[in-house]
């Protein structure tokens, strides 16, 4: 059966594509070419395939399938996806820049806060303010005067902090520098708490010393050096000011004012060597008239020629004879305080001379209105006489 089909197919091919000869005549010569059946089949198949491809392409164009258009649509999709990717990266970049800027602002805020704390510590410790980028702390203290103990605080209860516990800096950059900042801030907070405690203690002791002399603290501070100025302590703190730091700065400033006031107080003993109080401040029987009279000083007895010394730093405003005082030295200590050393046998200083506490200003004698060798020691504040014995007793608590 298959043999018959094969023979029939071969017969049909030979019938439609018999061997042909093509004759060509050129220049009186005749030549011919033979087209075999196989060659004709191959040429016919090639032409048929070409025709079929052209037909299919034509039908696809007519029915709307365009390979070029399909490629263009795919390209548009790829482009849109690319643009979306670019926009996402831009958004992430902007977000990162915003976070970095915010962290930079937080870092600067913390750095400023650390600098303020360091400046407060440096002021308390009498150290220079260092580079805020790498704060370091000295431990040398030069607080003066030195209090041996308090003469009895009138306000026995401990002062409470005016501001709550200091908050540690809150910034997280996720770096070693961040951890270092946090540790440094914690260390500064501990030191500031100690500074606050020490400063409050010094303030209370200074106030107690002043009040032991029966003087008003406000009056003494008001009688300080004329003029205004000094470091700025902005009580508002601005937006970034740390209220606790501002509070401590104010207390340090108050402590410094009280220090200056204490240094002006004549708290020393005016006679070198052995001496004794022979006449107190107040109303007494006058040694000459034998009638009651106001004695605005204390009399201190010692050997003739005993050295008389300044009871605080100051400037000599008078040295020489003065009526009933005899030979006398006046010393201005500032803040309205003047001490007078009278009945001297000899003065050792001149007007305008600067003296330190403990410097010799004269020698004990009995010049002027006196019955024998002694020192008439007088303390005035704003031209009013105060009991020198209270200053002498208050001086026992200050070195």
CA–chain centroid gap for 306, Å, is 54
Residue with tokens 């740390």: 242
DSSP helix/strand/coil, 162: coil
How large is the C-alpha radius of gyration of the chain? 54
**If 0-12 CB within 10 Å is exposed, 13-18 middle and 19+ buried, where does residue 81 land?**
exposed
DSSP per residue over 14-82, as a string?
Answer: HHHS--EEEEEEETTEEEEEEE-HHHHHHHHHHHHHHHHHHHHHHHHHHTT--HHHHHHHHHHHHHHHH
Distance (Å, rounded) from C-alpha 15 to C-alpha 289?
179
Distance (Å, rounded) from C-alpha 57 to C-alpha 50?
11
Residue with tokens 């004698």: 365
Q: Residue-wise over 127-151: b if at least 16 C-beta within 10 A, else e?
A: beeeeeeebeeeeeeeeebebeeeb
Which helix (H) or strand (E) element contains residue 185? helix 176-212
Domain parsing of the chain, residue ranges: 2-62, 108-263, 276-397
β-bridge pairing 354-355 and 337-347:
unpaired
> 365 near 385, Cβ under 8 Å?
no
Distance (Å, rounded) from C-alpha 1 to C-alpha 8?
11
To the nearest 10 degrees (0 to 180), the angle between helices 243-264 and 176-212 is 30
Distance (Å, rounded) from C-alpha 260 to C-alpha 145?
9
- 276-397 domain in CATH 2.70.70.10? yes
* Cross-strand bridge partners of residue 374: 365
Distance (Å, rounded) from C-alpha 236 to C-alpha 223?
27
- What are the pLDDT tens digits along the chain (399 aa)? 677 888 888 888 888 888 888 878 887 788 877 888 888 889 889 999 999 999 988 887 777 655 555 566 778 888 888 888 988 888 889 888 888 888 788 777 777 776 776 666 666 555 443 333 433 333 333 334 554 444 544 443 344 444 444 444 444 545 555 556 666 666 767 777 777 777 787 788 888 888 888 888 887 877 765 444 445 545 444 445 567 777 777 877 887 888 888 888 898 999 998 999 999 998 888 888 888 888 899 999 999 999 999 999 999 999 999 988 999 999 999 889 999 999 999 999 999 999 999 999 999 999 989 889 999 999 999 989 999 999 998 888 775
* Short-list 123, 126, 114, 208, CA closest to 159: 208
């Amino acid at each position: 059966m298959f043999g018959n089909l094969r023979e029939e197919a071969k017969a049909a091919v030979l019938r439609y594509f018999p061997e042909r000869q093509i004759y060509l005549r050129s220049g009186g010569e005749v030549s011919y070419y033979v087209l075999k059946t196989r060659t004709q089949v191959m040429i016919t198949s090639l032409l048929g395939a070409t025709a079929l491809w052209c037909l299919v392409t034509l039908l696809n164009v007519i029915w709307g399938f365009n390979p070029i258009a399909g490629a263009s649509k795919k390209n548009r999709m790829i482009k849109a996806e690319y643009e979306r990717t670019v926009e996402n990266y831009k958004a992430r970049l902007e977000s990162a820049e915003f976070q970095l800027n915010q962290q930079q602002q937080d870092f600067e805020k913390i750095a400023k806060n650390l600098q303020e704390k360091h400046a407060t510590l440096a002021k308390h410790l009498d150290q220079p303010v260092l580079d805020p980028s790498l704060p370091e702390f000295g431990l040398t203290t030069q607080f003066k005067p030195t209090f041996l103990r308090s003469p009895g605080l009138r306000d026995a209860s401990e002062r409470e902090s005016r501001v709550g516990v200091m908050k540690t800096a809150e910034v997280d950059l996720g770096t070693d520098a961040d951890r270092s900042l946090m540790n440094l801030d914690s260390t500064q907070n501990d030191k500031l708490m100690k500074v606050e405690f020490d400063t409050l203690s010094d303030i209370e002791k200074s106030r107690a010393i002043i009040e032991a002399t029966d003087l008003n603290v406000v009056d003494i501070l008001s009688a300080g050096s004329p003029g205004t100025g000094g470091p700025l302590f902005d009580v508002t703190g601005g937006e970034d000011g740390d209220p606790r730091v501002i509070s401590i700065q104010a207390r340090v400033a108050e402590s410094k004012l009280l220090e200056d006031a204490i240094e002006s107080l004549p708290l020393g003993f005016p006679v070198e060597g052995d001496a004794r109080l022979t006449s107190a401040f107040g109303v007494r029987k006058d040694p000459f008239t034998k009638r009651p009279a106001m004695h605005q000083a204390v009399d201190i007895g010692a050997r003739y020629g005993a050295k008389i010394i300044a009871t605080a730093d100051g400037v000599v405003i008078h040295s020489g004879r003065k009526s009933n005082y005899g030979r006398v030295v006046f010393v201005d200590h500032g803040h309205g305080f003047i001490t007078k050393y009278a009945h001297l046998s000899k003065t050792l200083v001149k007007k305008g001379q600067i003296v330190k506490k403990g410097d010799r200003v004269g020698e004990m004698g009995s010049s002027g209105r006196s019955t024998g060798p002694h020192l008439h020691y007088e303390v005035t504040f704003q031209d009013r006489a105060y009991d020198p014995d209270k200053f002498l007793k208050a001086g026992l608590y200050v070195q």
